[in-house]
Structure 1
Amino acid sequence: MRPSQPAPPRIHLCLLMAACLAAPFSHADDGAAIARIEAGLRPQVALADAPVKTESLQDAMVRLKVPGVSVAVIHDGKVAWTRSYGVAWTGGPAVTPETLFQAASISKPVSAMAALRMVEQGKLDLDAPIETALAGWKLPAGAGKPSLRQLLSHTGGMSVSGFPGYAAGKPVPSLVQVLDGTGPANTRAVRVDAAPGSAWRYSGGGYTVFQQAMIDRAGKPFDVLMGELVLGPLGMTDSSYAQPLPAALSAKAARPHDRDGKPFPGGAYTYPEQSAAGLWSTPLDLAKFAIAIQQAAAGRDNGVLSPAMTRTMLAPVMNDYALGLQIQDKGKAFGHSGSNMGFKSSLVAFVEGGNGAVILTNGDNGGELAAGLMRAIAHEYKWAGNQTVLRPAVALTPEARKALVGQYAIAGLGKFHVAERDGQLMIALRPGQWEPLYAESDKLLFVLSRNLEVRPIDADNGHTVVGSSSRAYTRVTGLW
């Protein structure tokens, strides 16, 4: 069947307003807060001496061509409210709180919890070489022997950062074919190509290895095992690691859309790399997962992991990454983001205080949308993190502006340009995409589109550096 074409914005907005009414969780006093959040998506960076420019959720969904969004907010250690917006697919039904989305890499912390439960059950060893748990497939000899702890924390020296999935109608490889990089797998073999423990390197491949180890030790399919270990005990009744989804669940699932808001032909991609990317879920179910971590971190029983193992799960190993979780705000918060074909997701929760949120979308531009919405939630509930960065700006002298004009190249990242346009210093980080370049001082420049800094030429080494809060500074290799 040919996918339906994108609906006009007017129809899209009507569906958006209708879907907003579906909210099984909320109290009367949440209404005003929800309205402020819906009207006030916030930017990553803003000028400190000017009002923060906000955007409504409706306008952002139309601008970014994201058909559907689903949200759950955690407050005081419980789900305070859920809301759903837009449509499950273009021309399809409204999103509801029960609509399933691909959680993408949020699959990783959920599968990490399951692996750690098997450790507590004595079925896996956290620090022994993972090869001791593998039976039907063996990790070929490489640069070392990674442990489960190292695979969970992306310090195992493993290859293959992520997986593109398999479009509808395309052959889907077995897990062993994925691990060996043999047809019809579309990624290379998963191997140890760096010394385990020597560095942090994101590897969905490492998660696929311990997926095989869990299957070998339990003797059960991974989706069945996840249901027994985590999804069932936490009451995540609208979640499944089945890939692809069975027909009964597909009827409840959102469909993916590209950056232009067009549906992917045939619907969702299939991810046999279930541990890394295969979870279908709802914000409410993932909020239950986050609350379980908060409860155990506070010393209470969550029915899956002990408080001691939960604290191990939250302990950073390297690069602010713990066991399946990204650690934020100097250990105060945890979470993960996700990116599958046509699905973008975000989970943030605080270890103490009982706050957090989960946002799932069915559009390739959903990451930007989720980030702005998460900052609106953080602003409303006065979180310690995830706030808009307010930066002071000063005027540069004409001479200083002129000295910065030029073309720059960053090794491995490409080129960017700086120019003066109508008296304003501008930067194009991508060809033709110009935006204002502001100065916090004569030694530090910044933009508003992302938390990125540009440092002017250093008189000692003749280089410029560009960096962001999530990337170490990178030296420019050339200036023309």
Structure 2
Amino acid sequence: MMSFIKWVLFVLGAMCIWVLLNVLSTKQGWFKDPIAPANDNASFMAEAVKSIKKEGKGNGIFVLINQGKVFDDFTYSKGEKVTRDTVFGVASLGKWIAAFGVMKLVEQGKLELDAPVASYLTRWQLPPSQFDNKQVTIRRLLSHTAGITDGLGHNGFLTAEQVQPLEQHLTKALDADDGVNGQVLVGIEPGTQFKYSGGSYNLLQLIVEEVSGMSFSTYMNNEVFAPLNMTNTGYDKDLFGSNLAQYFNANGDVRDYPYYTSLAATGLYTSANDLAKFLNQNITVPVAQNTPHNLLVVSTLKDMRSPNATAMGLDIWGLGVMLFASNNADDFIIGHGGQSPSLNATLRVNPSSGNGIIMLTTGNRSLAADTATKWTLWETGNPDIYMLKNMIPKMLKTTAIGCLVILLMSIFYILMARRNARKLATQQQ
């Protein structure tokens, strides 16, 4: 009996060690090689451009940032020329910039992160739910932990005349993706889990208007864009004229950018040069720069990139910003991405080094995100949350096979040991 117990403990111990090794190797990216040697900006630029040339279908710009300054850029287009001042729609990337506007109001004492959002609303209220709506706070809206289950996703509207008033849009978005309800309501107990929600940022947009007394667009221009000299940034695509990048679909045809009610969630238009100015606001080390570095105080920036949401056991979200991977300096690679059917944008930065990446594209659904994933591995040696997500199925398969092999080998060992014991006993007789 004792021998059997020892055997079971040995097998379980071996399996536990195998599982831990697989989890650790996956999380640390031990078997994932960066596309270029560490700290070699020129090599990374060359390898990234090689991939972009191969995969790029429409137009785009890729900018590599080193210590807060542009190291190099690469532009491409099957149509009109693209420059660092060309304006692209950036979809959900705008959530991060909208969060700056929200946190400005927090610093001014006009919003409290943990106060019920209902206390700031007069034009619209969350519908009654089976949960306590008072637990829906600014903090939880920013971090997608407020339990809002709208499923948005916004397709936008073909004409400016079709754009819904914000209150109507919160009640039922007419530009919702297929298969989602498009209603901003509490469907999960607030604070219990992460649930990505474009509607949460629509609600934040309304709160900004209520508290500031201005339209969201005017407020963001006054408090964020103008102070940072982001002169090619805004929410009205018609303001940019010929400076607006052509919007290519996956087939290479030019389509129109939509109009949006959901400005905070997905309606931002901006350029690579303006995003470089915004990126510098998130750097914690002194760098040479031409833009002010005091839009938000250091403690607010630290709060924004502190973990507020988890998934798969990993810290993935702060306040308005994604936490992509450890930067090996007690901080994170932070940023945000944006994706529409044939538009992809990304902005990531290592706050501790001042290094970053900006990429704006049309014609591809994930080229910018894929390039940023390669950059994160190259910058830190750590896989980002998207790479980890893709690696998990293989890890689970490898773990299961390994555990089965351990079990079979241990059984085989026991059987052979018993056979040898019987053979020895026979010989001794």
Structure 2 match to 1:110: 97
Q: TM-score normalised to the size of structure 2?
A: 0.72
1:141 corresponds to which of 123, 128, 136: 128
Look up the match of 1:354: 354
The yes-or-no answer on 1:160 pairing with 2:100 is no
Using the alignment, how far apart are the partners of 1:451 and 1:458 within structure 2? 14
CA distance in 2, matches of 1:173, 1:83: 38
Out of 67-76 and 252-261, give the one that drifted further: 252-261
1:72 aligns with 2:63: yes
- CA gap 1:388/1:216 in 2 versus in 1, 3 angstroms: closer
Counterpart selection for 2:80 from 93, 101, 107: 93
Distance 1:182 1:276, change over 3 A: closer
2:355 counterpart letter in structure 1: N
Farther off after superposition, 369-378 or 324-333? 369-378
Name the larger-Rg structure: 2
Q: CA deviation at 1:204?
A: 0.8
Aligned with residue 118 of structure 2, among 131, 141, 145: 131
Match of 1:324 in 2: 320
The 3 A distance-change label for structure 1 pair 302 and 296 is farther
Q: Within 2, Cα distance between the matches of 1:192 and 1:377?
A: 37
What amino acid does structure 2 have at the position aligned with 1:58?
Answer: K
For the residues of structure 2 that align with 1:311 and 1:167, how far apart are their CA atoms?
A: 36
Partner of 1:40: 47
Greater strand fraction, Structure 1 or Structure 2: 1
Change in Cα spacing, 1:322 to 1:182, as seen in structure 2 (3 Å) is closer
Q: Which amino acid aligns with 2:113?
A: L
| Distance in 1, Cα, partners of 2:302 & 2:104 | 13
Aligned ranges for residues 438-453 of structure 1 at < 5 Å? 451-453=391-393
**Cα distance, 1:185 vs structure 2:** 6.7
2:361 counterpart letter in structure 1: T
Instruction: State how far apart, in whole Å, the 1-side matches of 2:402 and 2:379 are.
Output: 41
Contact 2:285 2:351 in 1 (8 A): no
Alignment length (residue pairs): 343
Deviation sequence 1:140-183 (CA, Å, 0-9, x none): 22222200000000000012232232342482211111100065
Aligned to 1:238: 232
Mapped pair 1:252 → 2:239: no
**Gaps (5+ residues) in structure 1?**
1-31, 43-54, 390-446, 463-480
Aligned-partner SS, 1:156: coil
Determine the structure 2 residue equivalent to 1:151: 141
8 Å CA contact 1:156–1:196 kept in 2: the answer is yes
Q: Distance in 2 between matches of 1:345 and 1:58?
A: 17
Give distance in 1, aligned partners of 2:283 and 2:104: 16
RMSD: 3.2
Q: 2:47 corresponds to which letter in structure 1?
A: G
Q: Which residue of 2 aligns with 1:27?
A: none
- Partner residue, 1:304: 295
Q: Which residue of 2 aligns with 1:57?
A: 52
Q: Residue 74 of structure 1: SS of its match in structure 2?
A: strand
Secondary structure at 1:346's aligned position in 2? Answer: strand
Q: Which has the higher helix share?
A: 2
**Paired residue for 2:412?**
none
Q: Does the 8 Å CA contact 1:73/1:287 hold for their aligned counterparts?
A: no
Distance 1:214 1:78, change over 3 A: same
Gaps of 5+ in 2: 1-39, 311-315, 405-429
* 1:73 CA displacement: 2.0
Q: Does 1:215 align with 2:215?
A: no
2:193 aligned partner, one-letter code = A
Aligned to 1:204: 198
The answer for the alignment partner of 2:27 in structure 1 is none
Q: CA deviation at 1:460?
A: 13
Q: Secondary structure at the match of 1:220?
A: coil
Greater RCO (Cα-Cα under 8 Å, separation 6 or more): 2
The 5 A counterparts of 1:9-20 are none
- Structure 1 residue 77, shift from structure 2 partner: 2.4
Matched, 1:227 2:221: yes
CA distance in 1, matches of 2:400, 2:197: 35
Cα distance in 1 for residues equivalent to 2:285 and 2:215 = 27
CA drift of 1:348 comes to 1.3
- Provide the residue aligned with 1:45 in structure 2: none
